[in-house]
Amino acid sequence: MSTSTQGEFHIPPGLTPELMQWLRTQMAAGVPAPSLLQSMRTAGWAEHLARRALALPEEGELPFPFAAAKAASGPAVSIEKSATGVPEPDLKTDPCSIKVGDREVHVLTSLSNPRVVVFGNLLSDAECDALIAEAKPRMQRSLTVDNQSGGEALNQDRTSNGMFFQRGENEVIRALEERIARLLNWPLENGEGLQVLHYLPGAEYKPHYDYFAPNEPGTPTILRRGGQRVGTLVMYLNEPTRGGATTFPDVGLQVVPRKGNAVFFSYDRPDPATKSLHGGAPVLEGEKWIATKWLREREFK
């Protein structure tokens, strides 16, 4: 098969002009290569063709279609780890909001110890509704990580239903994950898949830590997938009538659920001294839907 051309750029053999145009558009919008690769896999593209479209060519060159994207919109966004060694929004200039590509996220509350930041306007109403609709058919009784075995187990402290999306599973999730990576200055690939949880009246998640206890027998198995958890982002997809706050008992903080808002907290070591103890207070009236993104030290696999 001869290599076709589109303008001055050569299309790799086996790939269509339509796909390459889509890739140019996605890269111009700042979507990272790992997310694009996952999207192509989901759509049924052969692995070797997807990688041919995304792989770096000769030394120092940008691959097609990244060169076109760069020419059209400047350098693609590269998410590096924050200088603090844990996920951290850029609040050095005390901004009231942070631009994260496709959205302007409001900074509502910031606490240093523990490190807690409450964000507004992280998700649109439509995105919240879409996540709930996609998650509903897949809900099951929530499990927790079992530090004894390294697997999952039923925990009486957690009385919600939940499910996990694959990273980059659909368009809404891809856009949200890119937004989170920009907001928290943490590589997209270091995030676990998004978990959606549903709490009915009386349901709760008693105070707990999100890091993995270092001395438990199952922890080495858990850490092989990406190291320790170092940050958590809880996003509110709706508003219960009463109850359902995210609580931080060590500092007496309660974050009330507001649709589209989120609370972020980080922990630089697996130790109670981080004051990252938190819980989901019982829903007293109505129901609560949240989406949680856990962030790891390294790429999560």
Angle among Cα 71, 74, 78 to the nearest 5 degrees reads 125
Query: What is the token pair recorded at 67?
Result: 């060169």
Q: Are 15 and 23 in contact (CB under 8 A)?
A: no
Is a pLDDT exceeding 50 seen at residue 4?
no
Q: Where are the alpha helices (DSSP H) in the chain?
A: 17-28, 33-42, 47-54, 66-73, 125-135, 171-184, 219-223
Q: Residue 209: how many CB atoms within 10 A of its CB?
A: 16
Token code pair at residue 258: 């507001």
Report whether 125 contacts 236 (CB < 8 A): no
Q: How far apart are CA 143 and CA 138, in angstroms?
A: 14
State the span(s) of the chain assigned CATH 2.60.120.620: 97-296
- Segment 36-56, tens digit of pLDDT: 776 776 666 666 666 667 653
What tens digit of pLDDT does each residue of 227-260 get? 999 999 999 999 999 999 999 999 999 999 999 9
SS (H, E, C) 112-144: CCCEEEEEECCCCHHHHHHHHHHHHHHCEECEE
- Are 69 and 76 in contact by the 8 Å Cβ rule? The answer is yes
**Dihedral sign from CA coordinates of 284, 143, 87, 63:** negative
Half-sphere exposure of 188 (CA within 13 A, CB side): 24
pLDDT, tens only, 54-90:
653 333 333 433 333 333 333 344 566 666 689 999 9
Burial of 274 (0-12, 13-18, 19+ CB in 10 A): buried
Q: What pLDDT digit, counting tens, does each position of 183-196 carry?
A: 999 999 999 999 99
> What pLDDT digit, counting tens, does each position of 108-120 carry?
999 999 999 999 9
Instruction: Give residue-wise pLDDT tens across range 6-17.
Output: 334 445 555 566
Decide if domain 97-296 falls under CATH 3.40.50.150: no
pTM: 0.71
pLDDT value for 98? 98
Q: What pLDDT digit, counting tens, does each position of 124-160 carry?
A: 999 999 999 999 999 987 655 555 554 555 565 666 7
